Chains A and B, each alone.
Chain A
Amino acid sequence: MQIAMIVAGVFFCAGAVAALYRVIRGPSLLDRVIASDVFVVTIMCVLATEMAFSSHTETLPVLLVLGAFAFVGSVSFARFMAKQDQT
């Protein structure tokens, strides 16, 4: 159990760091949007993992709200990009 938690944590961290790297480096705005989306989903997965390991459900609404914010953010960015580039 302990080992599994550590392994999962390492994978989650690596994924989040890679997403952050893409947010910082990303050549275009769309890369950053995608990467921040992945970052938010990784956070959701980590929260859910914590819930699964300690058998409580207190942060479930947080998952829902995070998902909603990620969706609204990405879509508004994508729409803004599409408008801007129709010159």
Chain B
Amino acid sequence: MTGEGIREIITVGLVLVSSLMCFAAGVGLMRFPDVLSRLHAATKPQILGLMAVTAAIAVNNATIGTFALLTAIIIFQALTAPITAHMVGRAAYRSDHLRRDLLIQDELSVSVDRVEQGNVATAPGGTPPEGPTQDDRPSGEQYS
């Protein structure tokens, strides 16, 4: 009987953590000023909220099959969430969807400028050959 009660309390606690994370993500989406900051708010429920709530399921339903499937879900989310964030962040930076006045330091623009200046004669506005920061390197990087 007490074991039942403890399990219930743990479940409730984990679910509340998850719901708070989802709430914070929503508020972050409303409040933060640019795409990259919103991206930070968005990666949070994907990881901690999902981990908490899957832990709640595991507490309630402790079989090998459930554990296995939950592990698969967590691994899958943990692998894909950063890729999504990276792709969206890269697209946001490329298409200038960020407020540069909020950055206290931007070291990417320095190297982008350097690459563009070095290749302005060979590839004007195109794809600089020695510019791995520029084009298709990062997308190939996630497979390698």
- A residues neighboring B (CB under 8 Å): 1, 4, 7-9, 11-12, 14-19, 21-22, 28, 30-31, 33-35, 37-38, 41-42, 44-45, 48-49, 51-53, 55-57, 60-61, 63-64, 67-68, 70-71, 74-75, 77-79, 81-82, 85-87
Contacts and interface: CB of A to CB of B under 8 A. Distances in A.
The 5 closest A-B pairs by CB, nearest first: A18-B26, A15-B26, A78-B87, A11-B19, A15-B22
Given A14-B23, A57-B57, 5 more contacts: A18-B29, A67-B76, A75-B87, A78-B91, A81-B91
B95 A81 contact: yes
A53 to B, nearest CB: 7
Contact of B50 (A34, A45, A53): A45
Contact of A19 (B29, B49, B80, B92): B29
A67 B46 CA distance: 10
A46 to B, nearest CB: 8
Main secondary structure of the interface of B (DSSP, over half): helix
A37 B31 CA distance: 17
Given A53-B11, A57-B69, A71-B80, A85 B94 contact: yes
Main secondary structure of the interface of A (DSSP, over half): helix
Name the residue in B26, B76, B92 with the highest tally of chain A Cβ atoms < 10 Å from its Cβ. Answer: B26
A63 to B, nearest CB: 6
Given A11-B20, A49-B18, A30 B45 contact: no
Contacts of A85: 91, 94-95
15 contacts: A4-B15, A15-B22, A15-B23, A22-B38, A35-B42, A37-B84, A38-B42, A42-B26, A45-B49, A45-B53, A49-B18, A49-B56, A67-B73, A75-B87, A78-B88
Name the residue in A41, A53, A63, A68 with the highest tally of chain B Cβ atoms < 10 Å from its Cβ. Answer: A41
Contact of B45 (A38, A63, A68): A38
A16 B15 CA distance: 16
Contacts of A55: 60-61
Interface string B16-57: 101111111111011000010011011001100110011011
